Amino acid sequence: MDRLPSACQAFLLERPMNSLPTPAGNPKIRPVQALALLSLATAALLSSCTTIGTTDGAGMSGSGAVAGQLTPSQLNHPQVKARNAVLATEAPGNYFIGRRWWTDGTRFWGYLREPGQPWSTAKLVIMNESAMKQPDRIPEEGSLQVHGFDHNYEYRIWGSFTGQKIYDPNSNFVIPEFRLSKYELISENPGFLFYPGEKYNPRHLPEVHPPFPGS
């Protein structure tokens, strides 16, 4: 079921009946007339609101794209297909390719994929650092670098999925946990992650993500 943006919800839920609108110059307008005016105002507001964050029963959003997933045009972009051909030549092995994706306040680390596979198969993960700290886990004092400095860096990653899924309250994602054992930097500037022209904002959730709980 779709939900309304918070601004629309606030209008509907926080509007007390004793604050019904009264036209200027006519303070004695009847309550029935005031209620009719409120209904018209509400209808106008709702017509300007768009639904966010959820999908219909088929898992499809109103735009025809699956929420949190790439669209066919993004998957089939010529540059994506050309890069996929290069990725297919990667040496197989017991490792992963990781791309750091830093979003302020969240717990997830970024994306992992198996060698030889396209980035469209990657999973957003939370790092278990019991065996080794993640690359940007640096001292809080005395360092010129900050947490998340390695956004979009590409790594070769060793370790294993623990089988656990962790809830990240700041993103509302349920994310698989990966126990890191070793890493090495591949590139500080590997280019786009999923498709050319993708946008990044450190305060916005990534476009590609797991389903929201209950969606």
Per-residue pLDDT reduced to its tens digit, 28-70? 445 445 444 444 444 443 333 333 333 333 222 333 345 588 9
pTM: 0.68
Listed by start position, the domains of the chain span: 6-48, 72-187
Spatial contact of 98 and 154, defined as CB atoms under 8 Å apart: yes
For residue 139, give both structure tokens: 């001292």
For residue range 151-168, list pLDDT tens digits in order.
Answer: 999 999 999 999 999 999
For residue range 124-148, list pLDDT tens digits in order.
Answer: 999 999 999 998 887 655 556 677 8
- Res 68: pLDDT: 86
Supply angle C-alpha 52, 66, 49, rounded to 5. 20
Burial of 23 (0-12, 13-18, 19+ CB in 10 A): exposed
Burial of 189 (0-12, 13-18, 19+ CB in 10 A): exposed
Least reliable range by pLDDT among 9-13, 29-33, 38-42, 211-215? 9-13
For residue range 78-120, list pLDDT tens digits in order.
Answer: 999 999 999 999 999 999 999 999 999 999 999 999 999 999 9
